[in-house]
Amino acid sequence: MVRQTKIRQAGGSLAATIPKDMVDRLQLEAGDEVFVVETDRGLLLTPFDPTFEKALNVYRRGAQKYRNALRELAK
């Protein structure tokens, strides 16, 4: 879903509001941290930590590759 919002002055910073329906769907609350990722297509605002996602992908590859060894170690 694509929504348009305005950039507003908020003290010494700039702020953008997130539409309520998106906030509800993403289960965001005031005070939650989100990540702003600069991409070649613009800005991506996400509640997910992109570095954690990379680490999780590395784990998944390792867990798949060594699943038999890990299963034996778990016994």
User: pLDDT, tens digit, for every residue of 32-60?
Assistant: 988 888 899 998 888 877 778 788 888 88
Largest CA distance in the chain: 58
| Residue 74 pLDDT greater than 80, yes or no | yes
The neighbouring-strand residues paired with 19 are: none
The confidence score (pLDDT) of residue 42 equals 92
CA–CA separation, 16 and 9 (whole Å):
9
Determine contact, residues 28/34, Cβ cutoff 8 Å.
yes
CA–CA separation, 60 and 70 (whole Å):
12
| Residue 13 pLDDT greater than 90, yes or no | yes
Q: Return the percentage of the chain with pLDDT > 90, whole number.
A: 35
